[in-house]
């Protein structure tokens, strides 16, 4: 037992040295009576140029990387957050499937062109899932067959595009998808309720096991590093009560995300895994209600997916958030028709 704890402690210490380009956190909160909520923070070294986008069903798509791109027609409508408006990194569809892409420095997608498979930009990874699947089980079954190869071009800011994907649904099911050394690994269980960045998810679980032996009421690691945030949030998520009232449950989710956030203006060029929180989201899966919390504005706003005019054949809709407009309450009326953004593509 002592040897195993020593090994876990060594793993926890080693994880502190892993550099990461951002410091996001994702949680899956279980309310009372089988109500589920997903919270997420976006921590990044600069503003992410994020707008909110809503897409209709029966929308024709392609993988965004030119010749050899995979093609599909969306089955579900969805709402999501654009990242530099070249990637969907957060969102939910009208079936309740909710997804979040977080940075993972260890990601390695292999030689996409040599795979012989249709190609998909990493910017469209989450959107592909939201467009095609209603449940986590459905997504796991389909994506485990690897119907495409991911292409990860450089981001507009020059950073490597590298991430892992978390999915949750209205049953409380959860799955984490990672590509390590060119191979897809899927962690699928309702117990996988927290995800941060490095190290890879399997090692995050081991680190959490170590801190469980310490006991969160006695001591928890306090830095903004990914491994510490994973341990801290795992304890806090289990410590808070399962609320029945929707408004109270959502307040609890947002309070958890704020508790793990990095204050605006705190940056360390020598520690790229510490980056300011830019925005937070929270998804009420059962109500199909999507909350957005921009750190530059004083209030939270939300979108009821059912209030958007997203029928087959309708145009994509955009909520322009450039200039950080002050929004509050339900804002579906503020979405305007817009040409969908193009997924991140290799530079020609």
Digitized pLDDT (tens) for each residue of the chain, 348 residues in all:
444 444 444 444 444 344 434 578 999 999 988 899 999 999 898 899 999 999 999 999 999 999 999 999 999 999 999 999 999 999 999 999 999 999 988 898 988 888 889 999 999 999 999 999 999 999 999 999 999 999 999 888 888 888 999 999 999 999 999 999 999 999 999 999 998 887 788 877 776 665 555 555 555 666 667 777 888 888 889 889 999 899 999 999 999 999 888 888 877 666 655 788 899 999 999 999 999 999 999 899 999 999 998 999 999 999 999 999 999 999 999 999 999 999 999 886
Dist CA 244 CA 159 (whole Å): 42
Count Cβ neighbours within 10 Å for each residue of 32-67 and write b for 16 or more, e otherwise.
eeebbbbbbbbbbbeebebbbbbbbbebebbbbbee
Q: pTM of the full predicted structure?
A: 0.89
Residue 211 has a pLDDT of 57
To the query of whether residue 24 is one of the catalytic residues in this protein, the response is yes
> E strands along 189-347, which residues?
194-195, 277-284, 289-294, 301-304, 317-319, 329-330, 336-337
Is the CATH code 3.60.60.10 the one for domain 2-337?
yes
H-assigned helices in the chain: 2-15, 125-132, 136-143, 201-214, 226-239, 246-259
Domain boundaries, the chain: 2-337
Residue 293 has a pLDDT of 96
Residue 249 has a pLDDT of 94
- Asked whether 118 and 69 are in contact (CB, 8 A), the reply is yes
- Asked whether 96 and 288 are in contact (CB, 8 A), the reply is yes
Give the mean pLDDT of the chain.
Answer: 87
Residue 3 has a pLDDT of 43
Neighbours of 30 (CB within 10 A): 17
Residue 236 has a pLDDT of 86
- Asked whether 150 and 109 are in contact (CB, 8 A), the reply is yes
81 exposed, middle or buried (CB, 10 Å; 0-12, 13-18, 19+)?
buried
Given 8, 12, 15, 24, which residue is catalytic?
A: 24
Residue 10 has a pLDDT of 45
**What tens digit of pLDDT does each residue of 231-284 get?**
888 888 988 999 989 999 999 999 999 988 888 887 766 665 578 889 999 999
């Amino acid at each position: 037992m002592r040897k195993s704890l020593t090994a876990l402690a060594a793993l926890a210490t080693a994880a502190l040295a892993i550099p990461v380009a951002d410091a996001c956190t994702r949680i899956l909160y279980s309310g009372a009576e089988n109500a589920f909520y997903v919270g997420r923070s976006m921590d990044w070294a600069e503003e992410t140029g994020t707008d909110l986008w809503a897409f209709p069903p029966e929308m024709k798509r392609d993988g965004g990387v030119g010749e050899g791109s995979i093609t599909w027609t969306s089955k579900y409508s969805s709402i999501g957050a654009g990242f530099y408006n070249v990637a969907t990194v957060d969102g939910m569809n009208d079936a309740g499937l909710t997804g979040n892409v977080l940075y993972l420095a260890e990601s390695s997608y292999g030689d996409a062109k040599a795979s012989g498979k249709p190609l998909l930009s990493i910017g469209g990874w989450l959107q592909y899932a939201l467009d095609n699947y209603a449940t986590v089980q459905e997504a796991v079954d389909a994506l485990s067959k690897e119907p495409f190869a991911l292409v990860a071009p450089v981001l507009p800011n020059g950073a490597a595009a590298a991430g892992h994907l978390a999915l949750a649904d209205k049953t409380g099911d959860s799955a984490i998808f990672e590509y390590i050394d060119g191979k897809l690994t899927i962690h699928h269980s309702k117990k996988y309720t927290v995800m941060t960045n490095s190290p890879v998810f399997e090692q995050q679980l081991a680190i959490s096991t170590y801190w469980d032996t310490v006991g969160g009421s006695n001591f928890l690691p306090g830095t903004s590093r990914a491994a510490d945030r994973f341990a801290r949030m795992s304890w806090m998520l289990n410590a808070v009560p399962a609320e029945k009232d929707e408004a109270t449950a959502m307040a609890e989710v947002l309070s958890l995300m704020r508790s793990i956030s990095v204050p605006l203006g705190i940056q360390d060029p020598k520690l790229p895994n510490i980056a300011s929180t830019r925005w937070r989201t929270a998804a009420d899966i059962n109500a199909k209600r999507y909350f957005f919390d921009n750190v530059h504005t004083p209030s939270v706003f939300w979108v009821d997916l059912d209030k958007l005019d997203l029928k087959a054949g309708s145009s994509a809709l955009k909520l322009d958030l450039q200039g950080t407009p002050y929004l509050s309450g339900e804002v579906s009326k503020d979405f305007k028709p817009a040409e969908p953004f193009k997924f991140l593509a290799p530079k020609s």
